[in-house]
Amino acid sequence: MSVYKNLKTFPVGGIHPEDHKLSAAKAIEFLKIPDIISIPVSQHLGAPAKPIVQINDRVKVGQVIAESGGYVSTNIHASASGIVSKIDNVMDASGYKRLAITIKVEGDDWFEGIELSPDIKKEIILSKEEIIAKLQKDGIVGLGGATFPIHVKLTPPKGKIADILLINGVECEPFLTSDHRLMIEKGEEILIGTQIIMQALGVSESLVGIESNKPDAIEHLSKLAKNYNGICIVPLKVQYPQGAEKQLIEALTSRQVPIGGLPIDVGVVVQNVGTAFAVYESIQKNKPLVERVVTVTGKNVQNPSNFLVRFGVPISNLIEAAGGLPNETGKIISGGPMMGKALNTPDVPVTKGTSGILLISEAESKRGEVLNCIRCAKCVGHCPLGLEPYLLMSLVEKGFYDQAQQEQILNCCECGSCAFTCPADRPLLDYIRLGKSIINQRLREKSPK
Amino acid sequence: MNKKLVVSLSPHTYGKDSVTRIMYDVLIALVPAFLVSIYMFGFGALRVTLIAIFSSVLFEYLIQKFMLKVKPTINDGSAIITGLLLAFNVPSNLPWWMIIVGSFVAIGIAKMSFGGLGNNPFNPALVGRVFLFVSFPVAMTSWPVPIVTRFKLIDAVTSATPLSIVKEGLKNNIAASELASKLPSYADLFFGNLGGCIGEVSALALLLGGIYLIYRKVISWHIPVAMIGAVALFSGILWGLNPEKYMDPMFQILTGGVFLGAIFMATDMVTSPMTPKGMIIFGILIGLITVVIRVFGAYPEGVSFAILIMNAFVPLIDKFCKPQKYGVVKVKNG
């Protein structure tokens, strides 16, 4: 039961998956760095970074080892100190082999000038341009899952002005608690990070949205926010997918991003709380993005935990640290149960986009038998974007891509609410994804670059 | 790590809803009306219900197994519902073979020939009912007197339904106010103490089932409220124009299959619109057609026809009543 009344939320659709925040009370623990780590050069949306180290080079934590491969791209830093032993393709969470830099770990030496003390530094001395440049250099990307480089978001296109910054502390995925723990343990840093982003954007108002199932985080941040101008903590009703950018914007500001548009079109920029923390560390402590908080959880996991993990550490190490892989595991998911990605092996590295590792039992891994659509309209009623998933699936099945496009299939955010609610266990989202990829491919072929 | 992991796309967790759960919820919701039918019509009601359910399920099984050669889906409960609803829509003394013919038309023609559950454009039970109604009009309109009433009218075996009394009376230019004295009271109508199809007599029992279905989110309020409201509104307009020629709205909504139709037949997911807006239009038009058939048509009762007619318009309604898509409305730019 919530103590908050008349909580805001987005107006259309959404679902209530069962809450399983098993690790909510577990303080963030530092995960021991293994002897060998492989750091992928593509941990963000956009072009992969280009390696600038050679085999047998000695590197320190925080040293740039791969340089930004374009405007929508960022630097990659060494997340452990040691010797570069391999620059080769390794399997990452996507299931594909991609370029990664392998380091044989020796000790934990940090690059010069990085401040590791936990002292809070409130005063922001850099200018707007300096902040953006520094964040780009330090490899800061959105840590909510999309890993979009932050400097791009902080540089609105000509003619577009941001008037409000939204900080996403929603964490609406069941099971995940990394943002929750971060808000409790690093509240001050998050608020300073928020102020830095506000300064970089030139906005004077910021709203931090947190779902009401995290009352301790709401209380803690609300108390702290009194000392920060223009930052307001807004408790939100628990409603999936509130953490999705468009839904959060509508919940907090009642603005709707036009189809095909971006949040900046309605004057909004959204950043995750984890990103705000990373911004603080980059600007105030000169610390590049080399680690993040990852929740390791699942109903059969012995010790569900929140770990501070260096990028490149194999996911199997995290599972081991949380009590090992339960016998009955059928699925290993990178992310949450609603939008996460099933892995075919736990031997892939943690990257900037890894928010959690969820282990699902064999029994729960299997999907039900697909039945005929009974037109119950649950998928229609629960779609937060007002789409008709049953219709989109049948259009894609029949190959009517033009019609699917007219029905705004490309606006689907893949939250999975439709498939979650379907009583006939129809693979609605699978078909919508297929349709989206075919249509996107066609659009690319039509418009030569 | 020598185990095979399942790799599939998200979501990786699902809600508890299932087709079977929905179907069994509908069956649970039909229990009160079923009990009332036994109370009112005794063994006859039980006989009709069992024959209808058994033959419906059997036809579904035989057709799927031997004609379509697919895995029979009789466990999903939908054939049981069709059988039960068909039974609810016939008199309790209908000959056994007519019930079986009705089940065959409902399952074989209205459901399976379109591809089974989910693909049928018309409500199967109603198709079966209307088929019986036009094929065997006499048997379908000789209504046993409810047991409760029978103690008072010992010699009567069958009786006319309130609606047929009114239809006949008005045709013979008897004033509506005069007819009222021959009709059951509103209380009788509400609790079900009257002749009629076995499942439609008690508005109260049907209402209880409806509340359960709304509570379980199997149906929403839109279709029942729109349909019952429309029957009341349109019959009220006529009654207001000439109370001697037309019956009052209360009588119209409590008689015939209005409650059964509004709560259990028109709300059939497969054959009703998807969006609340579409459902309201659908319900209003069913109500309007019902009143038009009752007042101006040849039959005393119009709910079944009205629902079937509107079933045909569902694709059109769905096409014009789409949900409001996100991001299409004009935005307030900050």
The secondary element (H helix, E strand) that includes residue A198 is helix A187-201
What pLDDT is recorded for position A410?
94
Query: Residues A213-234, buried b or exposed e (16+ Cβ, 10 A)?
Result: bbeebbebbbebbeebeebebb
From B138, B275, B69, select the one nearest A380 (Cα to Cα).
Answer: B275
Can you tell me the mean pLDDT for A129-135? 95
- Inspect the interface and report whether the beta carbons of B118 and A421 lie closer than 8 Å: no
What pLDDT is recorded for position B202?
86
What pLDDT is recorded for position A228?
94
- Measured CA to CA in angstroms, residue B214 lies from B79, B152, B221, B224 at distances of 22, 38, 7, 10
Residue A248 · residue A166 · CB < 8 Å: yes
pLDDT digits (tens, 9 = 90+) for B27-51: 999 999 999 999 888 888 999 999 9
Number of H helices, E strands in chain B: 16, 2
Look over chain A and give the mean of its residue pLDDT values, rounded to a whole number: 94
Which amino acid makes up residue B281?
I
Pick the residue with more confidence: A320 or B195?
A320
| pLDDT surpassing 90 at residue A320 | yes
| pLDDT surpassing 70 at residue A343 | yes
What pLDDT is recorded for position A1?
43
d(CA B279, CA B312): 14
Residue A75, classified by CB atoms within 10 Å of its CB into exposed (0-12), middle (13-18) or buried (19+), is buried
d(CA A133, CA A151): 7
The reported pTM is 0.90
Asked if A372 reaches chain B (Cβ–Cβ under 8 Å), the answer is yes
What pLDDT is recorded for position B200?
81
d(CA B86, CA B110): 12
* Strand duo B143-144 + B158-159: pairing: antiparallel
What pLDDT is recorded for position B334?
40
| pLDDT surpassing 70 at residue A436 | yes
Q: Tell me what percent of chain B is helix, strand and coil, each rounded to the nearest 5.
A: 65, 0, 35
The secondary element (H helix, E strand) that includes residue A417 is helix A417-421
d(CA A288, CA A282): 5
The strands making up A82-91's β-sheet, listed across from edge to edge, are A36-40, A97-105, A82-91, A58-59
Q: What is the mean pLDDT of each run of 10 residues along chain B (334 residues)?
A: 79 92 95 91 92 97 93 91 95 94 96 92 96 92 73 58 81 80 77 76 91 95 97 95 89 89 96 96 97 89 94 96 83 45
Other residues' Cβ atoms within 10 Å of the Cβ of residue A30: 10
Q: How close is the nearest chain B Cα to the Cα of A256, in Å? A: 6
Can you tell me the mean pLDDT for A125-134? 94
d(CA A150, CA A106): 31
Number of H helices, E strands in chain A: 14, 17
From A293, A398, A412, select the one nearest A26 (Cα to Cα).
Answer: A293
What pLDDT is recorded for position A166?
97
d(CA A121, CA A41): 31
Tokens 């009220």 found at: B236
* Interface mutation vs chain B, best among A327, A332, A374, most B CBs within 10 Å: A374
| pLDDT surpassing 90 at residue A428 | yes
Can you tell me the mean pLDDT for A257-282? 95
Tokens 């409960």 found at: B77
Residue B234 · residue B284 · CB < 8 Å: no
Interface of B with A (CB under 8 A): 1, 3, 5-15, 17-19, 21-22, 73, 76, 115-119, 269-272, 274-275, 322-329, 331-334
* Interface mutation vs chain A, best among B4, B7, B13, most A CBs within 10 Å: B13
Residue A136 · residue A149 · CB < 8 Å: yes
Q: Cα angle vertex A175, ends A172, A180, to 5°?
A: 60
What pLDDT is recorded for position B113?
93
What pLDDT is recorded for position B149?
63
- Inspect the interface and report whether the beta carbons of B119 and A246 lie closer than 8 Å: no
Q: How close is the nearest chain A Cα to the Cα of B88, in Å? A: 22
| pLDDT surpassing 50 at residue A365 | yes
Joined tokens for residue A183: 């808000």
Strands (DSSP E) contained in B118-269 are: 143-144, 158-159
Spell out the residues 6+ positions from residue B70 whose beta carbon is closer than 8 angstroms to its own.
Answer: B64, B116
Which residues in chain A (160-179) have CB-CB distances under 8 A to chain B?
163-164, 174
Q: DSSP label at A263?
A: G
From chain A, pick out residues whose CB is under 8 angstroms from the CB of B118.
Answer: 371-375, 424
From chain B, pick out residues whose CB is under 8 angstroms from the CB of A259.
Answer: 325-328
- Residue of chain A whose alpha carbon sits nearest to that of B269: A376
Spell out the residues 6+ positions from residue A421 whose beta carbon is closer than 8 angstroms to its own.
Answer: A15, A378, A379, A382, B15, B17
* Res. A2 pLDDT band, cuts 50 70 90: low
| pLDDT surpassing 80 at residue A141 | yes
What pLDDT is recorded for position B138?
87
Other residues' Cβ atoms within 10 Å of the Cβ of residue B181: 6
- Inspect the interface and report whether the beta carbons of A259 and B270 lie closer than 8 Å: no
Strands (DSSP E) contained in A148-188 are: 164-168
Asked if A159 reaches chain B (Cβ–Cβ under 8 Å), the answer is no
d(CA A331, CA B192): 55
Q: What is the DSSP secondary-structure string of A88-139?
A: EEEE-TTSSEEEEEEEEE-S-PBPTT------------S-HHHHHHHHHHTT
- Inspect the interface and report whether the beta carbons of A375 and B274 lie closer than 8 Å: yes
d(CA A256, CA A249): 7
| pLDDT surpassing 60 at residue A45 | yes
Other residues' Cβ atoms within 10 Å of the Cβ of residue A445: 8
Nearest CB to A387; choose among B19, B118, B325: B325
Asked if A45 reaches chain B (Cβ–Cβ under 8 Å), the answer is no
Tokens 């033009």 found at: A402
Q: What is the DSSP secondary-structure string of A86-100?
A: EEEEEE-TTSSEEEE
- Inspect the interface and report whether the beta carbons of A374 and B334 lie closer than 8 Å: no
Q: Is A85 helix (H, G, I), strand (E, B) or coil?
A: strand
What pLDDT is recorded for position B301?
84
Can you tell me the mean pLDDT for A428-448? 92
Q: What is the CA radius of gyration of chain A?
A: 22
Can you tell me the mean pLDDT for A49-57? 95
Joined tokens for residue A427: 């693979």
From chain B, pick out residues whose CB is under 8 angstroms from the CB of A377.
Answer: 269, 274-275
- Inspect the interface and report whether the beta carbons of B334 and A95 lie closer than 8 Å: no
Residue A359, classified by CB atoms within 10 Å of its CB into exposed (0-12), middle (13-18) or buried (19+), is buried
pLDDT digits (tens, 9 = 90+) for A60-84: 999 999 999 899 999 999 999 999 9
Residue A329 · residue A359 · CB < 8 Å: yes
